[in-house]
Amino acid sequence: MKFDYDLFVIGAGPGGLAAAERAATKGAHVAIAERDRVGGTCVIHGCIPEKLMTYAASFSHIFKDADEYGWGKVSDKFDWYQFMEARDRDINHLSQLHIQHLQQAGVELLTGYTKFLDAHTLDVDGRRIVADKILIAVGGEAVKPKIPGIEHAITTREFLELKQQPEHLAIIGSDHIAVKLAGIMNGLISKVTQVVCEDRILPGYDEDIRTTVTEGLKKQGINILCNTGVQQIQRVQDGVKLILSDINPGTLTVDTIICITGRAPNVNGLNLENASVELKLGAIAVDEHSRTTQSNIFAVGDCTNRPHWTPVAIASGRAFADTEFGNNPHFVNYDYIPSVVSSLPEAATVGLTEAQAREKLGESVRCYCKKFQPLFNSMADPDRKTLIKLVVDSTSDRVLGAHMVGEYAAEVIQMIALAIHAGVTKKHFDTTVGIHPTVAEEFFTLR
């Protein structure tokens, strides 16, 4: 069979872009198809625009603290339209940069919907394409729960396209994205109510992280309704109304409702059955080398059952390209992947939570935890505390997990992730001299 391409990639998000560019540098003839803007959810509809909004929201806290540092009162007015225009320009610039990188690597970019005709043949908006190897990197999409009136709620993608800032926002959800948006909108001077069906936000995170972030959000004025369900949503004259149940029954009327209750692999319409590509629990089933149940078809990123983080998709895409086109077979180690909750306050974590460690190792687990006041807050906000925590196996002295809530949490934990990968022990922390005065040095003083 004569092939049009050595590799055809479906989806120009982080994983697909990384794989296409790496394979092209190895001499492969590569094309990539995207039905949206190049960059994927992370660049266009997720991490990057949300992070830019986090930066914007942080100014309200900086302005509040500026008075204590001698700068006087600063205006707390926020121009939503001006910011969104600037943000969109930046996002478009990043998307264009990715297109340039594809061109420089010699990757052909196609625009349109792609579906399988068979294991080697694709239809891209009516164009028939035959490829030796095919990589699926279509990401995921937000899903809404089946609640009467749920059509009146929006997803994060629609939220990031709002032309007008909500005065009062309800967020249905408890994960890191829901918590992040609650902190962002509170920082941008919107009233925020978060509706959580669980007993607390951030299920699956370390209990000290959950407690500390909750305290921080409530202190800022965010109303968190835990153990609360949504029975129905109704459109009313002055906005949208939520009918609540369980611990906090009653109604809540707001301008906008964002539903953040989960994501699903974006595989509808690919016609995977034509290529004998199987799903497992709704995601594309892959082996350690990203190969699907069809030997020439691979998948990376959020359409698989791997951790749904941008760096994971990038690493998986590059490992696939190195293995298949670079004569360098290897796979990604998914242990000790750090993650961040870009809330205000920020939280970050890597490795095992205390509960996970105790379930695995029992009484040999020892935890070292401290809440303290960073130097900056000694003048600005004495009640704002930073939390740091290490989870240790006392038998081997190995550090199993690290957790932090406070400024620069993501930057600090990211470096600790490297140390944990290398087998760092508590003794290593105890005998390391830190930089003073910093927040990170406190990890070396835990006793």
In a domain, 331, yes or no: no
pTM flag (> 0.75): yes
The residue among 207, 234, 261 that closes a domain is 261
- What is the rounded CA–CA span in Å between residue 233 and residue 386? 38
Do residues 62 and 170 share a domain? no
- Kindly report the CATH number assigned to the domain that includes residue 86: 3.50.50.60
Do residues 309 and 409 share a domain? no
In a domain, 341, yes or no: no
Q: Residue 284: its pLDDT value, please?
A: 98
In a domain, 317, yes or no: yes
SS3 of residue 288 by DSSP: coil
Give the alpha-carbon dihedral of 109, 111, 117, 121, to 10 degrees.
Answer: -20
Give the total number of structural domains in the chain: 3
Q: How many CB atoms lie within 10 A of CB 85?
A: 11
Residue-wise pLDDT tens digits, 156-172: 999 999 999 999 999 99
Paired residues of 259 in beta bridges = 172
Residue-wise pLDDT tens digits, 369-412: 999 988 888 887 777 889 999 999 999 999 999 999 998 999 99
Q: How many CB atoms lie within 10 A of CB 198?
A: 14
Mean per-residue pLDDT of the chain:
95
Residue-wise pLDDT tens digits, 104-149: 999 999 999 999 999 999 999 999 999 999 999 999 999 999 999 9
Residue-wise pLDDT tens digits, 189-198: 999 999 999 9
Closest-CA residue to 173 (of 187, 158, 188, 153): 153
In a domain, 338, yes or no: no
Q: Residue 161: its pLDDT value, please?
A: 92
- Kindly report the CATH number assigned to the domain that includes residue 387: 3.30.390.30
In a domain, 438, yes or no: yes
Confidence of residue 272 (pLDDT cuts 50, 70, 90): very high
Confidence of residue 432 (pLDDT cuts 50, 70, 90): very high
Paired residues of 252 in beta bridges = 242
Confidence of residue 179 (pLDDT cuts 50, 70, 90): very high
- Catalytic status, residue 436: yes
Do residues 362 and 400 share a domain? yes
SS3 of residue 45 by DSSP: helix
Contact 123, 115 (CB under 8 A): yes
Do residues 156 and 123 share a domain? no
Rounded alpha-carbon distances, angstroms, from residue 176 to 162, 181, 333, 337, 384: 21, 9, 23, 15, 21
Segment among 153-162, 268-277, 338-347, 429-438 with least mean pLDDT: 338-347
Paired residues of 425 in beta bridges = 398
